[in-house]
Structures are given as C-alpha cells and as structure tokens.
Chains A and B, each alone.
Chain A
Amino acid sequence: MALLEVEDLRVAFGASTAVDGVSFAVEQGKIVGLVGESGCGKSVTSLAVMGLLPRGRAAKGRKGDQPVQAAAEEVAGGSVKAAVAAPQAVPAGGGRRRGGGADVSGRAVFDGTDLLSLPPAAMRRRRGKDLAMVFQDPLSSLNPVVPIGRQITEVLERHRGLKGDKANKEAASLLDRVGIPDPVRRLKEYPHQLSGGMRQRVLIAIAVACAPRLLIADEPTTALDVTIQAQILELLKDLVDHEGTALLMITHDLGVVAGMCDEVNVLYSGRVVESAPVRELFARPTHPYTVGLLGSIPRLDLPLHEPLTPIRGSIADVIRWKDGCAFAPRCDRVADACVAGEPALVGSAHAHRCVMAEEVA
C-alpha cells in the first residue's frame, strides 16, 4: 500500500468547486508530480492534504484569493510561517476567515490513517513530523523578524525535543545538508539577508528537520532562476534518493516533471485527466490536454523555430464535469459523446479521462 493515498478529494469554496474528485497515490521513496495550469487546483489539493484549508461550512467563496497566502495568514501566529511546523495552522472553524471556509470531502490516507478525518490537534502533531510542505514563495513563508536559526530550532524543539546547543548544532548541520555555506554564521541571519535560492534552501531545511516521510513541494522553484532551480531540484532529488522520503511535486513545468518525477498526474479544472509513469506519459500522451500542453512549449531539443501548436481558448472556457468533459470547449477532437455525460477515468497504469482517446490511439 502506498504511503499516501488520496481518494476522491473534493474541495469547494462556496458555490465554486476548486477540486472535483482527485485521486492519486504517492509511494515511499518516489516522486509524484501534479501538473496543470494556474487555477486547476494543485495548491488547494496539497493544502487539503496538509489540513491547511480554513475549514467549516463555506461562507461566500472569494475567488482569486490565494490559498497559500491564506495559509500563511492562518499560521502567522507562529514564528515559522510555513505550514511545516506551525501548530496554530488550523483554526478549525475559527480564526480570521475572511475568505470563507472550504468544504473538504474524500479521503487522504497516510500510512493507514485518514488525514481528513483527524481532529485538528492530531493533525498538528503530524504536520512537520510526518509530512511537511515547501511553498513557492520562500520570502513570505519565513518570519521576517526571527533569525533563521531560531526558526529551525523551534521545529526541532517542538517535534524532536531538542534544546539549546544540541538544537543549534542540528540546525547548523541541516543548513549544511541543504548546501548553505558557513551555516553557523547563517543561523543568526534574518530572511531578508539571504537570496531567494538560499531562502528556499532554509525552507527545505525546516521541512526536512524532522525527517518527514512525505514532503509536499508546491512550485518550489517557480520563483527562482534556472541556475538556482537546478540547484534546488538536485537537492530535492538527493533527499528522496538518500532518505527515502516520498515527494509530491507540484509544478506547471513539464521539463521539471520529466526530470524529477516517477509518476505524473495531469490536472485540469480540478480533476486528474491523465496519470501515468513519467516515461509512458511523455512517450504516449493520450489526453488531448496533455498533448496540447506538450505542443505548447518551446523546446531546446527540437529544430529551431519549430512551430508551436497551442491549445485554443483559455481556462475560463470550461464546462462542469457533470455536464461533460471540462476540456471540451478547447478540444480539437470534441465529439457528441464528450458532452453526453461525465467522462470516467479509464485504465490503471496509464489512466486517462477522455472518451475519444481509444479511437485516436
């Protein structure tokens, strides 16, 4: 059985459904990718698994509210703003809930327990220890007025009971492990004194401080330069190879997916539309959306000025899954069958959600 099994996860903010029945599994020591364009529900999925969405009956959902920001806001009480260690993270039905709550249903089974049905206190204990998260924006995820050393030792203290010198030593060795030169000096520095790449390393150090078995990385390199991105990806890969951590990698970059992941789930409008082992997916993309994404990116390994074949329209042109295929308004292969009802996810190793796929393949 896989370490994390997400089954039929649904998240709604008021009337709008952000995640509409997502299922996937992450095995020990594997990297699983969630790919998709902005707004398809990647971050909401990961926040739901981490128990970081404001819960409760949703009030008026506010679109465009960034869930990550909301999460950071929720945990602002702790010195480590990242969700990794903050015990204050989930105000179950309380806290500042300006954006309205999220209705979460489905299951996220981690090592035999359903995280979604855990009481907030129990979830808090697991967060940081068993599963940890790294966000896209390393600056807003760190507390600006606390030295990074303190932000790391706080986690060590809470979850591993390390104190004083011991904690400091461990913090320095963590920084060393994520490739920060001169770690002892760095411990005393504040986030603004570090570069973006360094900050992301610090966040990763905090996330792996308690040797979590699952790490969720939400666009960990999107804000970074390619040369820095290469460093961070290398580091994450190393962690998986040497510690056996499972990694859920959220990204919109198919290049990153190709280089990092073992399994890939392509999301569109809150659902998995294709899922396959990475080589299989790139060798035989089946869903028209995946095919379209691959045709949209300029590549360095193809002849110069190879024309791009974009997907037409935008993600605003979408229909509800219960009416038919959400991708139909943008799909070139659309047929009557596509809007005749809910398309099912077919196949097991290489699954896709397209009624026309067989005909084309």
Chain B
Amino acid sequence: MTIAKIEKLDRLIEASVSAREAQTGSLLRQSYRRLRRSPMAVTGAVIVGLFVVVAILGPWIAPYDPTAQTWGREVFLNRNIFPGPRAENWFGLDHLGRDMFSRMIVGARQTLLVGVVATLIGFVAGAVIGGVAAAAGTFGGRWGERVEAVLMRTVDVALAIPMLLLALSVAALMGPSLSTVMVAVGVAQIPIFARLLRGSMLAQAHSDYVLAAVSLGVPKGRIVVSHILPNSLGPVIVQATLVLATAIIEAAALSYLGLGNPDPGSAEWGTMLADAQRFLSGAPQLAIYPAVAIIVTALGFTLLGEAMRESLDPRLRSQE
C-alpha cells in the first residue's frame, strides 16, 4: 500500500470514529462526562455547592450577630407574636429577638459539620470493619472466615436495631452535646457502610482479575489494597453522599429531641427547629425556615448521590 493511501485510510477511520461518540479517557472521566449531562446531578451539585459556600462563609455574610438579642424589646413585649419578614430582618425574628436570617446562615456550618463528621465516623469505622471482614474471609483461611463471621454477625445485629434507638442510646451514654449528636448519628451508620464495603469487596474478590493477580503471585495484602479495595470504593462513596443527607436529618432529629448542643445561643438548624415547636401555632415560620433548609440540603445530597450512582453503573459504561 502506498503511503498516501494509508494516510487517506487513517483520515477516514478518524472521521468515522469522531462521528461516533468519543469514547476515550479513564472510566472516571467518562463517568464525569455523564454526570455533567444529568440534570439531577447538576441540580444536586448546585444545592450542595450553595450550602457549602454558605456554611464556610456564614459568619462573614450574615448581616447580624446570630446570638445578639438586638430586637429583644420588640419580642418580649408581645409574647408569642414575632415580627415576620421585613426589610431589616429578611426572615423575621425568633423568640429571643434574634435575626432569623443570620441564624439560618450561621447554622448551616453547624449542620454541615454534624453531617460530615457523622458520615466520616460511619464511613471510616464501617469501612474498616467491612474491609477487614472481607479481607479476612477471602484470604485469611479458616481463621479468617471465623473473624469475618463474628464481625458480620455483630454488624447484622446492630443493623437490626432501629437507627434512632441506636443513636439515642449513644446520646444517653454521652449526655447532650454537639459531639454526642455527631457520634450517635455516625455510629448508627457504621453497619451500613460495613455491609456495603464487604459486599462490594467480595464481589470483586471473585472477579477474574483478582484470580489473575493471585496466579501472578501478587501477595495477598497487596491484592486487597491495590486491586480489590480501589474497585470496591465506588458504591461506598456514593452511599456516603446519600448518608450525608440522612445524617443531616437525623442530627436535626436528635437536636430536636433535646440531645443536641444545650447552649441556647448556638445556631443549629435542628436546635432551631426544636426551639420553634413551642411557638408553632403563633409563629410557624420559625419552624418552616430550618425545616425547609434541612429538606432542601438533604435533597441536594440525595440527588447528587443518586446521579453518581447512575453514572458509575457499570452497565452504562461503554463496552467497546
């Protein structure tokens, strides 16, 4: 074949390939490309992004000090009637005469902190338990199988206890505080993460590429760390996003039950919701703001998580 002909062929192949969808890049990049096209992911990402920005910049963008009872006079005068939204207080005032808008903004940080720390606790502890169980069960021989059985039975038992009950027990042990809420919610998530990672790792452990690694003489520890684990983390990370949503709601629930930060001055959405219940008939807006904020934030994380799950779904990957 002449050079010219080869070049022409190459050009034509090129044209045909670009006519089809470009299929290059790592799996991660392909997932990202799909993610960007999904309206669900974009909506979720915008909500989460906004939330995080507010949480970080909260104290600087809040118009007033969230603890200052600047308008106390107005509030204490006519009991249980609080000024609603107006020019100087966009969301109105709370029962102690504090600016609700500022409290909402500053509260975002606490809420995010609770959600993230709780999820991290669940993720790390759950992943360690699940990872150890899966690794022991797969490569640990007879003893390993026993270790796995003990770990997973324990997890199963923990999973059978209702989440709120588990969280309440932890809270009861530690006494009410913000860290109680974080630990309680985190602990309640451990079994889910443990199960998920173990299941995901076992599936990978039975795949051909792990068998190939064994047949190449790759040491067991290395197989777990460099082959099984990286390929198992995807679903767990997705789950973490979803758990963040539940963690925020649960943290709010625990605060609402009075297990949160006992300091009345602190701004946190769950606590605010709890405080608002006393004035529900007279000033429902005090409950509506934090409730809506919690729901929207949780929704944002859920949307993002679901979209991530879908974009990582191996069935949707190119099989070329």
Do any beta carbons of A and B sit within 8 angstroms of each other in the complex? Answer: yes
Tell me how far the C-beta of A100 lies from the nearest C-beta in chain B, rounded to whole angstroms: 11
CB–CB B21/A318 < 8 A: no
Residue of B9, B19, B20 touching A328 (CB-CB under 8 A): B9
The 0/1 profile, CB within 8 Å of A marked 1, for residues 13-37 of chain B is 1011001110100000000000001
Spell out A's residues near B (CB within 8 Å): 14-16, 60-64, 316-320, 323-324, 328-329, 334, 336, 339
In whole angstroms, what is the CA distance A63 to B23 when docked? Answer: 9
- Cβ-based interface call for B206 (8 A): no
Which 9 residue pairs of A and B lie closest in terms of their CB atoms, listed nearest first? A64-B319, A319-B12, A16-B20, A320-B16, A323-B12, A64-B318, A319-B16, A329-B9, A63-B318
21 of the cross-chain contacts (CB-CB < 8 Å) are A15-B20, A15-B21, A16-B19, A62-B316, A63-B318, A64-B317, A64-B318, A64-B320, A319-B9, A319-B12, A319-B13, A320-B16, A323-B15, A323-B16, A324-B12, A329-B13, A334-B1, A334-B5, A334-B9, A336-B5, A339-B9
With an 8 Å Cβ cutoff, the count of chain B residues facing the other chain is 18
Q: What are the residues of chain A within 8 A of B318 when measuring CB–CB?
A: 63-64
CB–CB B16/A318 < 8 A: yes
- Cβ-based interface call for B146 (8 A): no
The 0/1 profile, CB within 8 Å of A marked 1, for residues 277-320 of chain B is 00000000000000000000000000000000000000011111
CB–CB A63/B20 < 8 A: yes
Q: What are the residues of chain A within 8 A of B317 when measuring CB–CB?
A: 64
Which label, helix, strand, loop or mixed, suits the secondary structure of the B interface?
Answer: helix
Q: What are the residues of chain A within 8 A of B16 when measuring CB–CB?
A: 318-320, 323
- Cβ-based interface call for B8 (8 A): yes
Tell me how far the C-beta of B8 lies from the nearest C-beta in chain A, rounded to whole angstroms: 6
Q: What are the residues of chain A within 8 A of B21 when measuring CB–CB?
A: 14-16, 60-61, 63
Tell me how far the C-beta of A315 lies from the nearest C-beta in chain B, rounded to whole angstroms: 10
In whole angstroms, what is the CA distance A320 to B9 when docked? Answer: 11
Q: What are the residues of chain A within 8 A of B8 when measuring CB–CB?
A: 339
Q: What are the residues of chain A within 8 A of B19 when measuring CB–CB?
A: 15-16, 320
Beyond contacts A15-B20, A16-B21: 18 other A-B pairs, Cβ-Cβ < 8 A, are A16-B19, A16-B20, A62-B316, A63-B20, A63-B21, A63-B318, A63-B319, A63-B320, A64-B318, A64-B319, A64-B320, A320-B15, A320-B16, A328-B9, A328-B12, A334-B9, A336-B5, A339-B5
Least CB separation from A62: chain B residue: B316
Residue of B5, B15, B23, B37 touching A319 (CB-CB under 8 A): B15
Q: What are the residues of chain A within 8 A of B316 when measuring CB–CB?
A: 62
Q: What are the residues of chain A within 8 A of B37 when measuring CB–CB?
A: 60
In whole angstroms, what is the CA distance A60 to B316 when docked? Answer: 13
In whole angstroms, what is the CA distance A15 to B15 when docked? Answer: 13
Residue in B13, B37, B316, B320 whose Cβ sees the most chain A Cβ within 10 Å: B13
Tell me how far the C-beta of A29 lies from the nearest C-beta in chain B, rounded to whole angstroms: 38
